[in-house]
Amino acid sequence: MRIKEVVLYKMKMKMRHPFTTSFGTEHERLFLLVEVKDEDGLSGWGECVTSEKPLYSEEFTQSSWYMLNHLLVPMVLNKEIEHPDHLQSLFDVFKRNNMAKSALDGAFWDLYAKTKGLPLSNALGGTKSQIEVGISLGIEENIENLYESIKRKVDEGYKRIKIKIKPGKDLDVIEKVRSRFPNIPLMADANSAYTLDDVETLKAMDQYNLMMIEQPLTSGDLIDHAKLQKEIQTPICLDESIHSYEDARQAIELGSGKIINMKIGRVGGLSQARKIHDLCKHENIPLWCGGMLESGVGRAHNIAITTLSNFTLPGDTASSSRYWHKDIIEPEVVVNNGVLDVPEAPGIGYEVNRKEVEKNTVERSVLK
């Protein structure tokens, strides 16, 4: 592949419903799209899943805008890149900035699959034609609203319900949800809001039959999670602690958790995600694909990686309509009864709706 031009789109899209985690509420998403264009006029698309502020990780949309414009894109323009797996060795000279790297990696993977005439899922080695999905529900001020959202999503058929917790909005909420819905597959995501001082609270969660508790402790931590996992029965699932293959290897060795939430952006792209997948498969660590409130482009990449065999738990890749008034791909992502049909067209398998992209673009950069 030889890239003649890269277009970066800074996107601002209003969310259909605000989304609250332990670190704040998002009403709109400010993120990036990357379009790589080859000599034959084919385009590959990637999404940079950063937010406006560095709350989830150290990256934010303006930092990735800089990384892509000034450091990453110039490395790949007019250069022969045989396979997307080769990008990592180029990108490695710059520390982290995984979401920025991942956006470009994703665009190359889309283009690579298109040049081979393969759906991205197959190009990655995935074999499933359908995937199962759950839903992530934000923190609600009012428990009645949470009950209502859960009921609606269970009725729609989502395969598991994830609720967000934080100190002061935890045991009481879980207890209420569990007694209202005794049999649903339920899990809680703490987004790093606790420390080992909270071990009693976290231990008390064992009685509610949660599938897992996601990222209870500090972002990046592996050691305290290993200590905590020895104290609690509920499996720990790591999100903000896994940024690389090495993190995954060390987490497994230390026993920091029993499940990993894979986010393509967090680990620096599909090539890295696939390597971690293979390691986890070998080590019997089940995976599921997390979400970053993506537009259709990122959603399509999430669907493709989920077709790999060790993604054995339902992920967070819900229908486009849960997030957007109108998504930027056609058709939109539609989940039926908790199941999603993997697209069969080459590349990401959805058409990018350029009119919708333009409508939501606040800044554009063309690099050649």
Positions marked catalytic: 164, 263
Whole-number minimum distance, CB 7 to ligand OSB, in Å?
A: 25
Q: Which does 85 bind (CB under 5 to 8 A by kind): ligand OSB, Mg ion, none?
A: none
Residue 98 near ligand OSB by CB under 6 A: no
Q: By C-beta, is 165 or 308 nearer to ligand OSB?
A: 165
Name which position in 9, 45, 56, 109 contacts ligand OSB (CB under 6 A).
56
Rg (CA), the chain: 20
**Any idea how long the chain is?**
368
Which are the contacts of 30, defined by CB distance < 8 A and separation ≥ 6?
10, 11, 12, 51, 52, 61, 362
Residue 10 structure tokens: 């800074």
Residue 170 near ligand OSB by CB under 6 A: no
Name which position in 44, 216, 257, 290 contacts ligand OSB (CB under 6 A).
290
79-106 burial, b at 16+ Cβ within 10 Å, e below that, comes to: eebeebbebeeebeeeeebbbbbbbbbb
Return the number of other C-beta atoms located less than 10 Å from residue 113's C-beta. Answer: 24
Rounded Cα gap, residues 286 and 364, in angstroms: 39
Query: Binding to ligand OSB (CB under 6 A): which residues in 121-140?
Result: 136
Name which position in 59, 239, 247, 327 contacts ligand OSB (CB under 6 A).
239
Number of residues that bind ligand OSB (CB under 6 A): 12
Residue 239 near Mg ion by CB under 5 A: yes
Beta bridge partners of 214: 189, 237
Give the x/- contact pattern for ligand OSB in 311-330, rule: CB under 6 A. -----x-x------------
Identity of residue 266:
R
Residues that bind Mg ion (CB under 5 A): 189, 214, 239
Residues that bind ligand OSB (CB under 6 A): 21, 56, 136, 189, 191, 239, 290-293, 316, 318
